[in-house]
């Protein structure tokens, strides 16, 4: 989403930091470029003015012009303002009751915002956290909405509630009664959306709201709608009231203006972001992390968290031991390739690496080669994966044929694996080498 604006900020900071002396004129020029970048990203005009005025006010003070490193000081000011723009209060968790009392989450938004899919994503996330969610199909306007929710509920292993009725208020109340009886402690109600705001829609959602008294009122905004999404969220806040926002399609190539304007204009926090089409692709929204990524500083914390999701501590210790003992084999290498795939697309991971944005692109990493390597290893027998040295010419021809590759590609993969094993052994055994590598990585 933020590729374009991130590139512009990186260029502004690079140009600003290369100046021998920082003057008020330099700061004003940089701020003007920032203003243009924000407006081009479709950020609300009032938000841009406020952002620029506060940045100028702080950046032109004596503390910046006379600081030891005014360039870094200026970047810090812009970063702080960006965090404030995105929320300034850290990641906002859902405010739900204890496990023994049903909590109600009301999902609101326009048709096409991804509301139903987001409801299922949220249910899966809460299930993983140990809660017992119930998905409620109270969208009785869109013909396929009930079926879609039922399919998604089955996919994630969460119960759903629906009934043949034309009264969404009755459906929501009956679902809440069922939740109390069956001890479901989180009721997620998917309401109907429209193609545009209308009075009937607002009255219906308000009536459901009054009937079930939700603990959370989450507005699902499509990141691709830009400022229109911001205006709609403001309307929902005035007519029904919202407690937080979920920004769907955050992985799209939209300009990002909605994300940068929502919190300031609506006065409510963005709680989650949808980062893909899979049911697992819902992440908490951290203003400081997103600000770092926008400004080209990466997001190491999120990168580490993603790694921790696929590599547990025991597995890491096992792999490290095998590296030291030089027993790391092709079974282990295949596991690592599959774990890398679970972490997400290459371009998302590059965004999180400090300094990589603009320096490394997805084109620089041959993802097709990784797919070929997986196919080659999967075409080997158990014995061959355990001991690659038994792979003579005949076996290599068989593996190449089985994986749809050539013998030269099989040879190249094995040579690469041998080099990697040697490096891994050095890294695992040599503490100084580890410290040197981490230093070069800026860690």
**Does residue 97 lie within any of the structural domains?**
no
* Those residues with Cβ within 8 angstroms of residue 332's Cβ, 6 or more apart along the chain or in another chain: 319, 322
Supply the pLDDT for residue 54: 87
pLDDT at site 333: 85
Does residue 91 belong to any structural domain of this protein? Answer: no
- H or E element at residue 309: helix 300-310
Within this chain, do residues 374 and 411 fall inside the same structural domain, yes or no? yes
Distances in whole angstroms, Cα of residue 147 to Cα of each of 4, 59, 226, 280: 38, 55, 29, 20
What CATH code is carried by the domain that includes residue 391? 1.10.260.30
**Radius of gyration in angstroms for the set of CA atoms belonging to the chain, rounded to a whole number:** 26
Greatest distance between any 2 Cα atoms in the chain: 75
CATH number of the domain within which 23 lies: 1.20.120.140
Q: Does 242 lie in the same domain as 122?
A: yes
CATH number at residue 133: 3.40.50.300
Inside any domain, residue 345: yes
Name beta bridge partners: 108: 219
Of 28, 53, 86, residue with least CA distance to 294 = 86
Distance CA 87, CA 25 (A): 30
Question: How many structural domains are present in the chain?
Answer: 3
Q: How far apart are the first and last CA of the chain?
A: 27
Q: What strands lie across the sheet with 160-161, from one edge to the other?
A: 160-161, 133-138, 186-191, 103-108, 216-222, 244-248, 270-274, 282-284
Last residue of a domain, one of 295, 316, 332: 295
> What is the pLDDT tens value at each position of the chain, 443 positions in all?
567 777 788 788 777 766 666 677 888 888 899 899 888 888 888 889 989 988 888 877 655 555 556 667 777 888 888 888 887 766 788 999 988 889 999 999 888 888 999 999 999 999 999 999 999 999 988 878 999 999 999 999 999 999 988 899 999 999 999 999 999 999 999 998 877 777 888 889 999 999 999 999 999 988 777 777 788 888 889 888 999 999 888 876 666 677 778 888 888 888 998 888 889 989 898 888 888 777 766 544 455 555 555 556 666 677 777 777 778 889 888 887 777 766 665 555 555 554 445 554 445 455 678 889 999 999 999 999 999 999 999 999 999 999 999 999 999 999 988 888 877 777 666 655 445 444 443 34
Same domain, 313 and 254: no
DSSP assignment of 228-262 equals: HHHHHHHHHHHHT--SEEEEE-TTSSS--HHHHHH
Predicted local confidence at residue 433, as pLDDT: 45
For strands 270-274 and 282-284, give the pairing. Answer: antiparallel
Residue 178 CB-half CA count within 13 A: 18
Sequential DSSP letters for 121-176: HHHHHHHHTT--EEEEEE--SSTTHHHHHHHHHHHHT--EE--S-S-HHHHHHHHH
**Distance in angstroms (rounded) separating the CA atoms of residues 5 and 161:** 43
| Rounded Cα distance, 441 and 319, in Å | 21
Residues 251 and 336 in one domain: no
**Alpha carbon 334 to its chain's center:** 26
User: Which strand (E) or helix (H) includes residue 221?
Assistant: strand 216-222
**Together in a domain, 140 and 155:** yes
Print the domain residue range for 22: 3-86
Residue the block writes with tokens 């996919």? 155
* 416 and 349, same domain (yes or no): yes
| Nearest Cα residue to 97 out of 66, 118, 126 | 126
Q: How many CB atoms lie within 10 A of CB 53?
A: 12
Same domain, 308 and 228: no
In this prediction, residue 176 carries a pLDDT of 94
Task: Establish if 92 belongs to a structural domain.
Answer: no
Beta bridge partners of 138: 191
The residue to which tokens 């940068």 are assigned: 260
Whether residue 38 sits in one domain with residue 178: no
Nearest alpha carbon to residue 238 among 264, 268, 258, 216: 268
Q: Are residues 144 and 272 in the same domain?
A: yes
| Number of Cα atoms under 13 Å in the Cβ half of residue 273 | 23
* Residue 229, CA atoms < 13 Å, CB-side half-sphere: 30
User: In this structure, what token pair is assigned to residue 278?
Assistant: 């899979």
Q: Which two tokens stand for residue 126?
A: 């809460």
In a domain, 95, yes or no: no
What's the confidence (pLDDT) of residue 19?
66
Torsion over CA: 52, 54, 58, 60 (sign) = positive
CB–CB of 429/325 below 8 Å?
A: no
In this structure, are residues 171 and 165 in contact, taking their beta carbons and an 8 Å threshold? yes
Q: Is residue 98 part of a domain?
A: no
107 and 170 part of one domain: yes
3-state secondary structure 10-65: HHHHHHHHCCCCCCHHHHHHHHHHHHHHHHHCCCCHHHHHHHHHHHHHHHCCHHHH
Cα–Cα distance measured from residue 329 to residue 414, given in angstroms and rounded to the nearest whole number: 11
């Amino acid at each position: 989403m933020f590729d374009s604006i991130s590139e512009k900020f990186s260029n502004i900071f690079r140009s600003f930091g290369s100046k021998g002396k920082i003057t008020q004129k330099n700061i004003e020029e940089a701020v003007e470029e920032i203003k243009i970048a924000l407006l081009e990203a479709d950020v609300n005009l009032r938000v841009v003015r406020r952002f620029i005025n506060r940045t100028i006010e702080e950046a032109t003070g004596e503390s910046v012009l006379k600081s030891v490193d005014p360039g870094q000081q200026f970047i810090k000011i812009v970063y702080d303002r960006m965090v404030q723009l995105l929320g300034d209060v850290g990641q906002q968790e859902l405010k739900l009751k204890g496990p023994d009392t049903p909590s109600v989450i009301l999902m609101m938004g326009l048709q096409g915002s991804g509301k139903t899919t987001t409801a299922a994503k949220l249910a899966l996330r809460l299930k993983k956290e140990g809660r017992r969610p119930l998905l409620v199909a109270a969208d009785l306007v869109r013909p396929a909405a009930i079926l879609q929710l039922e399919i998604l509920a089955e996919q994630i292993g969460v119960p759903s509630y629906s009934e043949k009725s034309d009264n969404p208020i009755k459906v929501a109340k009956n679902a809440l009664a069922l939740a109390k009886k069956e001890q479901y402690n989180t009721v997620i109600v998917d309401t109907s959306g429209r193609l545009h705001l209308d009075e009937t829609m607002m009255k219906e959602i308000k009536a459901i709201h009054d009937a079930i008294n939700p603990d959370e009122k989450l507005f699902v905004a499509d990141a691709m709608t830009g400022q229109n999404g911001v205006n709609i969220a403001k309307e929902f806040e005035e007519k029904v009231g919202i407690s937080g926002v979920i920004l769907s399609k955050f992985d799209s190539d939209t300009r990002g203006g909605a994300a940068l304007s929502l919190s300031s204009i609506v006065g409510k926090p963005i709680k989650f972001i949808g980062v893909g089409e899979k049911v697992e692709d819902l992440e908490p929204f951290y203003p400081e992390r997103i600000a770092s990524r926008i400004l080209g500083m990466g997001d190491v914390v999120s990168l580490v968290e993603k790694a921790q999701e696929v590599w547990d501590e025991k597995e890491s210790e096992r792999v490290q031991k095998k590296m030291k003992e030089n027993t790391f084999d092709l079974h282990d290498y295949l596991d690592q390739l599959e774990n890398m795939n679970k972490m997400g697309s290459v371009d998302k991971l590059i965004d999180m690496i400090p300094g990589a944005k603009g320096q490394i692109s997805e084109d620089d990493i041959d993802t097709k080669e990784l797919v070929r390597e997986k196919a080659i290893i999967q075409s080997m027998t158990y014995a061959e994966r355990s001991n690659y040295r038994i792979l003579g010419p005949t076996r290599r021809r068989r593996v190449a044929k089985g994986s749809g590759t050539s013998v030269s590609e099989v040879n190249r993969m094995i040579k690469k694996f041998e080099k990697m094993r040697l490096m891994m052994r050095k890294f695992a055994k040599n503490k100084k080498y580890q410290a040197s590598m981490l230093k070069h990585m800026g860690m």
